[in-house]
Amino acid sequence: MSESTPAIILDCDPGHDDVVAIVAAARHTDLLGITTVAGNAPLDRTTYNARVMRDLLGLEVEVHSGAAGPLVVAPAFAGYVHGESGLDGAELPEPTTPLDGTDAARFIVDTIHARPGCHLVVTGPMTNIALALVQDPSIRDDLAGISFMGGGTFGNRTPTAEFNIWADPHAARVVVDSGIPLIMAGLDVTHQFQATSDRIDRVRAIGGPLATVLSDLFTFFSANYRERHDDLEGAAVHDPLAVLALTHPSLFSVAERFVAVVDSGELTRGMTVVDRRTLVDRPTPNCRVLETVDAPAAWDVIVEAIAAARG
């Protein structure tokens, strides 16, 4: 079981790997709410997909939609990875539970003040988080920290920028510069956690509607990754690591680093600059950066969470 059961709000852009983050959060956290943002797909799709997962998991948790686009740059989506629906590859049941609200930033502010000591887990562009911080900077006082999937010492949307940070670099800069304790699950660690064929087979063998949907989604996601990369055996399942960083910290090695976000530049927009120098006068770290993950053990956690959700 988990080493800790943190109270969290999950802000996401489902997205194949966001779905796995929801499964992990449902099993191992006190999930206070799910908020959605445009990213992998437009907001209406990411919100629909979050509602599908809520019903498929039988969760009694609110879903609030948020920002349909970034603070400054033009909206950009990732249909080239996740398909136009944001969750291509599986037959998804129509959601029946209605959306609970359309002001994610307000929900985030109110929930943090209602549950001091909770965490934000962010697995999409950070627009909602930046809007919440602008709306009420005092959430810093009640928030234990932010665990986010994003960034890295290399990119995927560009040579230097990972998609979540690139999609809204100004929001990411607001969050990373906020002074709130941060945990970063960047591409350096998430590329170690791949949905290989044997791992997908383990999920399918669980049986039942959830495992069928998830193994179909993994199959689509991994085929896309294998087609677009010459060094990956399966899709990097990025987002659940931002959850497991809180619930299963012993799965990771971590380094305290100073991290900054570059919000502009033809080649640098969305770059996270991770200071790994060993100089004694290096900048004070603002982020716990996940460096390695015990991938087999982490996959065991995901498989158990899916089996447990099967009911």
- Residues serving a catalytic function are 238
**Binding of residue 42 to ligand RIB (CB under 6 A):** no
Burial of 49 (0-12, 13-18, 19+ CB in 10 A): buried
127 binds ligand RIB (CB under 6 A): no
Which of 14, 204, 31 is closest to 95 using CA atoms?
14
Give residues with Cβ within 8 angstroms of 60, minimum separation 6: none
In the complex, the smallest distance separating the C-beta of residue 113 from ligand RIB, rounded to whole angstroms, is 27
Q: Between residue 78 and residue 137, which ones bind Ca ion under the rule CB under 5 A?
A: 123-124
62: partner contacted, choices ligand RIB, Ca ion, none (Cβ within 5-8 A by kind): none
By CB under 6 A, residue 239 contacts ligand RIB: yes
Q: Are 247 and 28 in contact (CB under 8 A)?
A: yes
- Cα angle: 7, vertex 180, 154; to 5 degrees: 100
Per residue in 109-136, is it b (16+ CB within 10 Å) or e — as a string? Answer: bebbeebeebbbbbbbbbbbbbbbbeeb
Contacts with Ca ion, 235-254, as mask; x by CB under 5 A: ----x---------------
Q: Site for ligand RIB (CB under 6 A): which residue of 27, 28, 238, 257?
A: 238
Measured from the CB atom, the residue of 115 and 119 that comes closer to ligand RIB is 119
Residue closer to ligand RIB, measured from CB, 306 or 307: 306
C-alpha to C-alpha distance for 281 and 225, rounded to whole angstroms: 40
Which of 6, 10, 11, 18 binds ligand RIB (CB under 6 A)? It is: 18
Name the segment binding ligand RIB (CB under 6 A); options: 9-17, 45-53, 171-179, 214-222: 9-17
